[in-house]
Amino acid sequence: MITRDELQALASGAVFARDYDFRVSAFGDGECTVDVPFQPGLERPGGVVGGPAFMAAADVAMWLAILTRLGAGDGSVTASLNTAFLGAARKESFSCTARVLKLGRRLIHGVAECVTADGRLLTHHTVTYMRPEHSAPTR
């Protein structure tokens, strides 16, 4: 079983995630929550946190949620990420929780939601990951 420290090391060490300073705050079987501290570099004009921060949080949270099921060596990659922006974050941190819905032989389907500290829903994401060829069972 993967540990919080291992998940955090992966999130902190991944080049695509490093600038966001994601913090693993909770995880379980097929689930992971990352906290995203506010940084001025995340703001768009008008003072709202930009969409890429939410999409990156959803993608990383889903990646880590998958690793809780398949282990740190899994090489699954994002195949699709659909985002609905439901509220704005202004100069505030947020968290994103991802949950694996179906772990198939070739595809992994899940959802993620980003919320403020007081639970206000900011985004909803549907995420599909593709499993690498070598991890699919052979017939």
Q: Which CATH number does 4-135 carry? A: 3.10.129.10
What is residue 46's predicted lDDT score, i.e. its pLDDT? 87
Rounded mean pLDDT, 65-86: 96
Q: Which helix (H) or strand (E) holds 129?
A: strand 121-130
Look up tokens 């004009």; give the residue.
45
Tokens of 50: 């930009």
Strands 23-28 and 94-103: unpaired
**What integer pLDDT is reported at residue 139 of this predicted model?**
44
Inform me whether the pLDDT recorded for 15 exceeds 70. Answer: yes
**pTM to 2 decimal places:** 0.92
- Could you give phi then psi for residue 52, rounded to 5 degrees? -55, -30
Tell me what the pLDDT averaged over the chain comes to.
94
**Across 48-74, average pLDDT:** 97
